[in-house]
């Protein structure tokens, strides 16, 4: 049963893969004609041996010699043209497949839920995008060329051999069942090892990327040996999987060739008997032998291409599994022309997975339009999880969230998220100009005047105008060429430019130097005006002036009120406040 399922999966996968080739059918047909031309030249050459030997070398017939010479020239001219058409045509098809698949995969990246990225490393995703797609492209083009061209050639050569001697050809065909059994067994092994290679390539990418990103930590903490050993272990595992694949390939092809060679030896022996010798002329037998030698060469290519075919099928299954992943739920159709920013959490509970523990329990909170709300509490209290539900990075498990009286799930994700801006401590910048990074908050409407205004409002223009290329300065990979405070101010400028009615500040002022924090606090004060703002901050001094402070613990709201109200309650907030300020004094 499992064998049948595996076979059906492989067939269905290859059919789906061929659907990516289908749009290029015109180029494919032209390439196919090139393959047929190449196959024809080989068969024609084998047929030409008989008149070349009999008429040219035995009978010395000048007309035959002239015909053979001209035919040879035409054959190899046709072969040259056919080879170019076939190879370039399939390369065209291959790159079209790669282009379409990578475009679809990238489009899929854009609509996958945040939860998927929480559980998947970027290295494994890159491995799918780069390694798997290339293996898949080879299966859809290079393998097709070999399968089509060599299969046509083999069938054509078999026709020539049958016309010359049925008995000798049947000896060769007797080896087919053994070859089929070996190819079937080896194919399963190839797919098995190919999947392991894909996984190990993902691990290699993970460790490499992690080491590059953490190069400073590795150096300062002396982790070079540890990281090198970890990489060497993973690299060795990858090598081991490749060697298993190579060993299977190296063993299977010679065994098949040995079987066919045995048939070849038997044919030579049988052909030397009186009955067969009397029925075949020397030229005919030479033509038969050449046809068989050419057939063996193409059969060898067909056996070796099986490795690439199975690699491609395994890679295709991996890629198609990714493309079939569920995207973010986006069934909402309602629009709000003018969002005011009133938000209500109504008995909201949340867990990351159906069987995981509940992170948030029965959260009910009313936030008026334009209010600023700060969430405080110990690590793991659920602050970030709660705020992440607002733009629907995750969907609530129970309860509802409303914006201006409309349930967020009734709004389309685009409509919902265009009304929310995010500034996080962990700023993400693109390896592009400062202008482009700021304009990311409103790419459609961003003019240079608006970009400059946003930069000035965020107190970022002070350092931007000192740079040689000003707004056209490239910031480096994730803003590597800028300081932490400068990156933070660009993130704030991005929020200014978006000008959304709802703002999320996720621990945006922790880990900053005093000067940067002063600039940022000034920018924040301006940014918060006339916006509904949700703030997560560890330093309580930064949120004393917000409208409402919400204290959370173990996924529940335990206190809520203004700074002065909570201090008077002498509860958890007061305890956190005293603890933090006593540490600052010390």
Cα gap 416→402, rounded to integer Å: 11
3-state secondary structure (DSSP) of residue 441: coil
Which band of pLDDT confidence, cut at 50, 70 and 90, is reported for residue 220? very low
pLDDT for 512 equals 56
**Rounded to whole angstroms, what are the CA distances from 470 to 151, 325, 477?**
63, 42, 18
pLDDT at 345 > cutoff 90: yes
Mean pLDDT of the chain: 79
- Please give the model's pTM, rounded to 2 decimal places: 0.74
* Cβ atoms of residues 34 and 84 within 8 Å: yes
Cα gap 109→105, rounded to integer Å: 6
Tell me the mean pLDDT in the region 481-493: 83
pLDDT for 87 equals 85
pLDDT at 346 > cutoff 90: yes
Tell me the mean pLDDT in the region 361-388: 89
pLDDT at 213 > cutoff 70: no
Q: What is the DSSP string of 12-44?
A: HHHHHHHHHHGGGHHHHHHHHHHHHHHHHHHHH
Say which CATH architecture domain 330-416+534-586 belongs to: 3-Layer(aba) Sandwich (3.40)
Which of 24-38, 430-444, 464-478, 539-553 shows the lowest per-residue confidence on average (mean pLDDT)? 430-444
* Cβ atoms of residues 99 and 61 within 8 Å: no
Residue ranges of E strands in 174-223: none
**Residue bearing tokens 């204290």:** 551
Sequence ranges of the domains in the chain = 12-323, 330-416+534-586
Residues 398-421: b if buried by 16+ CB within 10 A, e if exposed: ebebebbebebbbbebebbbbbbb
pLDDT for 366 equals 92
**Rounded to whole angstroms, what are the CA distances from 204 to 53, 102, 242, 317, 477?**
59, 21, 13, 20, 21
pLDDT for 545 equals 82
pLDDT at 90 > cutoff 90: no
Residues in the chain: 586
The structure tokens listed for 117 are 């990225």
Tell me the mean pLDDT in the region 148-152: 84
Which band of pLDDT confidence, cut at 50, 70 and 90, is reported for residue 401? very high
Cα gap 194→312, rounded to integer Å: 8
Q: What is the DSSP string of 78-92?
A: HHHHHHHHHHHHHHH
CATH topology of domain 12-323: ABC transporter transmembrane region fold (1.20.1560)
pLDDT for 211 equals 63
Which band of pLDDT confidence, cut at 50, 70 and 90, is reported for residue 532? very high
Q: Give me the phi and psi of 552, to 5 degrees please.
A: -120, 150
Instruction: Report the C-alpha dihedral over residues 202, 204, 205, 208, rounded to 10 degrees.
Output: 160
Which of 181-195, 292-306, 496-510 shows the lowest per-residue confidence on average (mean pLDDT)? 181-195
Burial label for 365, CB within 10 Å (0-12, 13-18, 19+), is: middle
Residues 164-176: b if buried by 16+ CB within 10 A, e if exposed: bbeebbebbeebe
**Whole-angstrom Cα Rg for the chain:** 35
pLDDT for 168 equals 77
Tell me the mean pLDDT in the region 481-490: 82
pLDDT for 269 equals 74
Cα gap 465→452, rounded to integer Å: 10
- HSE of 142 in the Cβ direction (CA atoms, 13 Å)? 18
pLDDT for 58 equals 61
- pLDDT tens, residue by residue, 252-299: 667 777 777 777 777 777 766 656 545 667 777 777 778 887 887 777
- pLDDT tens, residue by residue, 402-450: 999 899 999 888 888 888 888 887 787 887 888 888 887 666 778 888 8
**Residue bearing tokens 């749009």:** 23
Which band of pLDDT confidence, cut at 50, 70 and 90, is reported for residue 343? very high
In the 8-state DSSP scheme, what is residue 551?
E
Question: Who wins on pLDDT, 47 or 555?
Answer: 555
Cα gap 465→475, rounded to integer Å: 14
Burial label for 497, CB within 10 Å (0-12, 13-18, 19+), is: buried
Nearest to 35 by CA among 154, 132, 125: 154
pLDDT for 331 equals 86
pLDDT for 1 equals 47
Tell me the mean pLDDT in the region 501-514: 69
Burial label for 33, CB within 10 Å (0-12, 13-18, 19+), is: middle
Distance between terminal CA atoms of the chain? 71
């Amino acid at each position: 049963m499992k064998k049948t399922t595996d076979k059906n999966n492989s067939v269905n996968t290859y059919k789906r893969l061929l659907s990516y080739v289908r749009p290029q059918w015109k180029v494919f047909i032209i390439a196919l004609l090139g393959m047929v031309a190449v196959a024809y030249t080989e068969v024609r050459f084998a047929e030409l041996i008989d008149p070349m030997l009999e008429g040219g070398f035995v009978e010395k017939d000048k007309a035959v010699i002239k015909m053979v010479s001209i035919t040879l020239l035409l054959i190899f001219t046709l072969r040259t043209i056919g080879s170019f058409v076939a190879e370039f045509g399939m390369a065209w098809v291959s790159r079209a497949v790669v282009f379409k698949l990578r475009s679809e995969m990238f489009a899929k990246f854009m609509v996958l839920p945040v939860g998927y990225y929480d559980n998947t490393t970027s290295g494994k995703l890159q491995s799918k995008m780069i390694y798997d797609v290339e293996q898949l492209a080879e299966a859809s083009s290079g393998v097709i060329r070999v399968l089509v061209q060599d299969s046509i050639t083999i069938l054509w050569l078999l026709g020539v051999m049958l016309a010359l001697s049925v008995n000798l050809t049947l000896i060769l065909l007797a080896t087919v069942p053994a070859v089929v059994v070996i190819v079937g067994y080896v194919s399963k092994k190839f797919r098995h090892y190919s999947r392991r290679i894909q996984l190990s390539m993902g691990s290699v990418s993970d460790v490499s990327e992690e080491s590059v990103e953490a190069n400073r930590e590795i150096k300062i903490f002396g982790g070079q040996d540890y990281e090198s050993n970890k990489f060497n272990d993973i690299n060795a595992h990858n090598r081991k999987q490749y060697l298993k694949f190579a060993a299977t390939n190296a063993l299977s092809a010679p065994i098949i060739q040995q079987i066919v060679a045995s048939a070849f030896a038997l044919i030579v022996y049988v052909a030397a008997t009186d009955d067969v010798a009397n029925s075949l002329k020397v030229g005919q037998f030479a033509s038969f032998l050449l046809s068989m030698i050419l057939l063996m060469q193409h059969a060898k290519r067909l056996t070796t291409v099986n490795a690439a075919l199975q690699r491609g099928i395994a890679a295709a299954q991996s890629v198609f599994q990714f493309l079939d992943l569920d995207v973010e739920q986006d069934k909402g159709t309602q629009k709000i022309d003018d969002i005011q920013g009133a938000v209500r959490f109504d008995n909201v509970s949340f867990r990351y997975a159906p069987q995981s523990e509940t992170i948030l329990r029965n959260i009910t909170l009313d936030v008026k339009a334009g209010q600023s709300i700060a969430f405080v509490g110990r690590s793991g209290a659920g602050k970030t999880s709660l705020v992440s539900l607002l733009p629907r990075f995750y969907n609530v498990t129970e309860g509802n969230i409303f914006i201006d009286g409309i349930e967020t799930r009734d709004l389309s994700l685009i409509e919902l998220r265009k009304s929310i801006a995010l500034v996080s401590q962990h700023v993400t910048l693109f390896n592009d100009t400062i202008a482009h990074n700021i304009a990311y908050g409103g790419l459609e409407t961003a003019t240079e005047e608006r970009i400059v205004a946003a930069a000035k409002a965020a107190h970022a223009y002070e350092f931007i105008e000192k740079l040689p290329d000003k707004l056209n300065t490239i910031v480096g990979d994730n803003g590597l060429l800028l300081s932490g405070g400068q990156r933070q101010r660009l993130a704030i400028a991005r929020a200014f430019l978006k000008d959304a009615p709802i703002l999320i500040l996720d621990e945006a002022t922790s880990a900053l130097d005093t000067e940067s924090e002063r600039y940022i606090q000034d920018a924040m004060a301006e940014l918060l005006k006339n916006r509904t703002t949700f703030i997560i901050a560890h330093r309580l001094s930064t949120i004393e002036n917000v409208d409402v402070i919400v204290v959370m613990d173990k996924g529940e709201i335990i206190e809520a009120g203004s700074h002065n109200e909570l201090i008077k309650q002498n509860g958890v907030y007061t305890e956190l406040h005293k603890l933090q300020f006593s540490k600052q004094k010390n």
